[in-house]
Structure 1
Amino acid sequence: MCSRTQAAQWIRDGRVSVDGRIVRDPEFPTIAGRHRIAVDGRSIDAAPERRVIVLNKPRGLLTTASDEKGRDTVYRCFDGAGLPWLAPVGRLDKASEGLLLFTNDPAWAARITDPATGPDKRYHVQIDAVPDDALIAALNAGIEHEGEMLRAKSAALLRSGERTAWLDIVLDEGKNRQIRRMLAAQHIDVLRLVRVAIGAIALGDLGKGAWRELRADEIAALSP
């Protein structure tokens, strides 16, 4: 129905009752199927069916529900679709593009984004240099940046031109701006960064700003 943060605020505001009694403690224990929970007097009979959406995020949009500066967010792509509440599963920064998941199941999302249980993520990255073997080896071995060790699960050259090149980089963890920071430590700028796959789910021919709902078998393939 909503994010955990929003749910906690609803509870503190007195909008949620358990067996007819208002409860203002977000940590109050309940048992599914035994306790009757209501929001604004309307009973919640059962958890909604899990839904998972995949979006081809365009460059320039923020991965957030709202922005205090009024900048465009990824939710612009869902305008008029009539979708239920959905939260992004992980993030892509404003300058990045490509595959982004959304779901109404926060517990499932937490397992997907956990490095220990979640699937690998594949990126195609255009850089402002032609890499040599040493750079590829460094990305695979690990690069220290600002006291933190950053490592790709795998990195390889896709194709190169006279001044730029595309890399194929796979991550099994999701540290903040990890690829950009790894390359910046090698004095290389990222020109484009596109996430092309999460586990078995590939971006394919999904158009910029377009989205689709994942099938049950696709959700199962992602689930740890």
Structure 2
Amino acid sequence: MRLQKFLAQAGVASRRSAEDLIRAGRVKVNGNTVTAMGVKVEPGRDLVEVDGREVKWNGEKVYYLLYKPPGYVTTLYDPQGRPKVIDLLKGVKKRVFPVGRLDYDTEGLLLLTNDGELNLRLTHPRYGVTKTYRALVKGVPDRQALHKLATGVKLEDGMTAPAEVKLLRLGKDTSILELTLREGRKREVRRMCSAVGHPVLRLKRTKMAFLTLKGLRPGEYRPLTKREVERLYALTGLKRDDS
């Protein structure tokens, strides 16, 4: 098994992040620092360490859906000492990591897993997995602003991909938009809305692919069903023995 795949399946990080750990010289195999990709290890026989700590192998994969409240970071470590989403999974003993990120002030649906390959496919634009957000924005977007959001907005890192946009509710000074994206850029919804003159006041992710927050309150979580995991695998073109 390739080292980066081992680290992902052991719940250390996503496969992409595991490769970064290897390049940074933070991983040792049998006492030797490894910095090149392609090194293979045998679970249960080879000693793998990250930052001097042994990585325990357990091939069982777990999947959880969390209703993230605002005021939590989705990183596993925060130098500012802010609350972390991982702190909400008090009954989960395995090490898991978030599938993508939600901003500190953003609430809503967040998946967490130790399945590195599925994590990668759910977040990579190539697989086009949809994420749906509900945004309370300042002002009332006109037809031109809605068209820009739907067809593409020019940001500092390039044009956004086409999105599905619905105007759900109009107020005197605010509006509620629903946006469905197939990209996963950093703070994309907030930057898109600001670019068309309607800054986001509150943001909630309501859906990822076919998954919703039904039955959950902020801070609550549940394991995915076997059927839900199978559907995610099918959606991203994975087979059970791929990861």
Sort the TM-score into its range (normalised by shorter chain): 0.7 to 0.9
Q: Distance in 2 between matches of 1:208 and 1:129?
A: 27
Shift of 1:32: 5.5
Alignment partner, residue 241 of structure 2: none
Q: Indicate the residue corresponding to 1:112 in structure 2.
A: 122
Question: In the aligned structure 1, how far is the partner of 2:132 from the partner of 2:27?
Answer: 42
Q: 1:147 to 1:210 in 2, by over 3 A?
A: closer
Which amino acid counterpart does residue 73 of structure 1 have in structure 2? Answer: K
Q: How many residue pairs are counted as aligned between the two chains?
A: 216
My pick for the range that moved more, 210-219 or 146-155, is 146-155
> Which secondary structure state, in structure 2, belongs to the residue aligned with residue 140 of structure 1?
helix
Gaps of 5+ in 1: none
Q: What residue in structure 2 maps to residue 84 of structure 1?
A: 94
Counting only pairs closer than 5 Å after superposition, residues 190-201 of structure 1 correspond to structure 2 as: 190-201=200-211
Partner of 1:203: 213
CA gap of 1:36–1:204, structure 2 versus 1, over 3 A, is same
**Whole-angstrom distance in 2 between the partners of 1:115 and 1:71:** 29
Equivalent in the alignment of 2:199 = 189
What is the aligned partner in structure 1 of residue 174 from structure 2? 164
Pairwise CA RMSD: 2.8
Deviates more, 1:116-125 or 1:191-200: 116-125
Q: Secondary structure at the match of 1:195?
A: strand
Residue identity in the other structure for 1:99 = L
Aligned to 2:45: 36
Moved more, 150-159 or 63-72: 150-159
What's 1:73 paired with?
84
Alpha-carbon shift at residue 181 of structure 1 (Å): 0.8
Please say which structure displays the higher CA radius of gyration. Answer: 1
Shift of 1:29: 2.5
Q: Which residue of 1 aligns with 2:7?
A: none
Structure-2 change in CA distance of 1:160 and 1:220 (3 Å): same
Identity of aligned residues (%): 32
